[in-house]
Structure 1
């Protein structure tokens, strides 16, 4: 049954969802209007040379000044190639994506290693990343075991927000300190929405939390280009890390774009997110 909500305090909610310190950043990047599921404006380069991390990034670093970071965790038994389309998509929207080169990312440490790697390169004079990575705007996401890893990584003070996609059981939601967008699949028989994902969203009441259950999605929907998860994940990170007001409006306000969207079998926001 789809949940719909009426919200009060729209201005306050929007302020909570969009970081004021990066509100200007969105004006420096090419606008994508509301086409978050469509390819973004940036050509993408993929770097596989680092021992523990594959980097997906805009090919030319400079148009946006500095670029937020998204760390990624894979599902059990697979690597970044399984999600290549989704990771390229995020990079095309102006993010530097550090994907852990491991099939066991549940601890979150493997994902944070990518952030450490980027921090080193960002501080190395003459490096292509020097001064181009925004280490104060970091998101964590991943699928299945990697979704649990995103929750675990979210305990790190450097991680501002998390998007666990059909997350495995690892990671403690009580340790999250920033907004969270929990994504489940209505027809996921591996990580069932009602028993394994929705309860974790409910327990994350110390932060602004949103729950989206993608209609007819299975556990494999997130692979490849991310399927129906792709647009909402992109909108969330554009709102949280790039200060994109259009994207924030998908999650905030009485007429929030996703509140009554037909893509969901269930959509909720907790009190801190305006629900």
Structure 2
């Protein structure tokens, strides 16, 4: 946890997709003259904001305003886009505790599982995409599955033009056994397409422009269900650097020997940071 005490506030969005909106925020917001950077979260399939309660509280303790909703099928990014519209309006409500406290120039996106396609679609093609400064995705659903599911699941990584960090576990549900998108899941032959296998992280990474900062990493002993919790520290550092210019957080990914590369709990780490490559 960070040093800040946190509180939360719940709103009825009057929207069938988002349902309720929950905002976690530093408790000193009413007496502070600061504007706070924002992290929006996209739920995994069938999950609501309650699933990520401890997660939101953690991020808010590090100085973010963290916003979730109860969309259980986030894939298109529509509910993230609607949440941004809500925050823009709330920032202008004079009797709101968030009045002029939302730093709308520093918005980050995070998502888990189906929330991966959600943040990719939000940053790539939604109306408010220009407001997004940084992206994070834990165990993002691979193109193998999105091409099967269709119905708004598909995403185009080449449309994203902001720093993007992807994580996954090496457990069987995340990693599977397939080594490419061309292999079909076949239990008899022992081929299983994981939700976020290494080939998918590499595919997404390569489709992202080399002109943006990008990275991925896999953690040992982690699988799909709790992967969003297992990467909490590095996710927080990613947001702290890009949304707050935190020089301590910078050490996790930047420099000749980034901390994440030296961490024995991680493997398959790949990083392209422009300031050190150009």
- With the shorter chain as reference, the TM-score category is 0.7 to 0.9
Q: Which of 38, 41, 44 is matched with 2:3 structurally?
A: 41
Say what the alpha-carbon RMSD is for the aligned residues: 1.7
Q: Which stretch shifts more, 198-207 or 210-219?
A: 198-207
Counterpart for residue 194 of structure 1: 198
Q: Which residue of the other structure, out of 231, 250, 257, is the alignment partner of 2:259?
A: 257
2:81 paired residue number: 112
In our comparison, the structure showing a higher alpha carbon Rg is: 2
Name the CA shift for 1:114/1:256 in 2 (closer, same or farther; >3 Å).
Answer: same
In structure 2, the residue corresponding to 1:136 is in which secondary structure? Answer: strand
CA 1:233–1:75 in 2, change beyond 3 Å: closer, same or farther?
A: same
Q: Distance in 1 between matches of 2:165 and 2:227?
A: 15
CA drift of 1:259 comes to 1.8
Determine which of 150, 161, 165 is the counterpart of 1:181: 165
**Superposition pairs for residues 53-202 of structure 1, below 5 Å?**
53-61=21-29, 62-63=31-32, 65-155=34-124, 156-168=129-141, 169=146, 170-187=154-171, 188=174, 189=176, 190-202=194-206
For 2:165, what is the secondary structure of its paired residue? strand
In the TM superposition, what are the counterparts of 1:208-247 in structure 2 within 5 Å? 208-222=213-227, 226=229, 228-247=230-249
- Note the C-alpha offset of 1:135: 0.2
CA spacing shift, 1:273–1:230, aligned 2, 3 Å: farther
Asked if the contact 1:44/1:92 (under 8 Å) is kept, the reply is yes
Q: Which residue in 1 is equivalent to 2:184?
A: none
| Structure showing greater relative contact order (alpha-carbon pairs closer than 8 Å, 6 or more residues apart) | 1
- Scaled by the length of structure 2, the TM-score of the pair is 0.79
What is the CA–CA distance in structure 2 between the aligned matches of 1:274 and 1:185, rounded to whole Å? Answer: 27
1:128 shift after superposition? 0.8
TM-score relative to the length of structure 1: 0.80
How many residue pairs are counted as aligned between the two chains? 234
**Cα contact 2:164–2:215 (8 A) shared by 1:** yes
Q: Distance in 1 between matches of 2:33 and 2:236?
A: 17
Distance (Å, rounded) in 2 between the aligned partners of 1:215 and 1:108: 30
SS in 2 for 1:255: coil
Report the Cα offset of residue 272 of structure 1: 3.2
Q: Alpha carbons of 1:59 and 1:271: their partners in 2 closer, same or farther (altered >3 Å)?
A: closer
Task: State the 1:91 CA deviation.
Answer: 1.0
Contact persistence 1:209–1:273 (CA under 8 A): no
Kindly indicate whether the alpha-carbon contact (under 8 Å) linking 1:71 and 1:97 is maintained by their aligned counterparts in 2.
Answer: yes
State the Cα distance separating 1:222 from its structure 2 match: 3.0
Does the aligned pair in 2 maintain the 1:107–1:153 contact within 8 Å? yes
Give, in whole Å, the separation in 1 of the partners of 2:221 and 2:276: 26
Distance in 1 between the 2:241 and 2:47 partners? 29
Higher helix share: 2
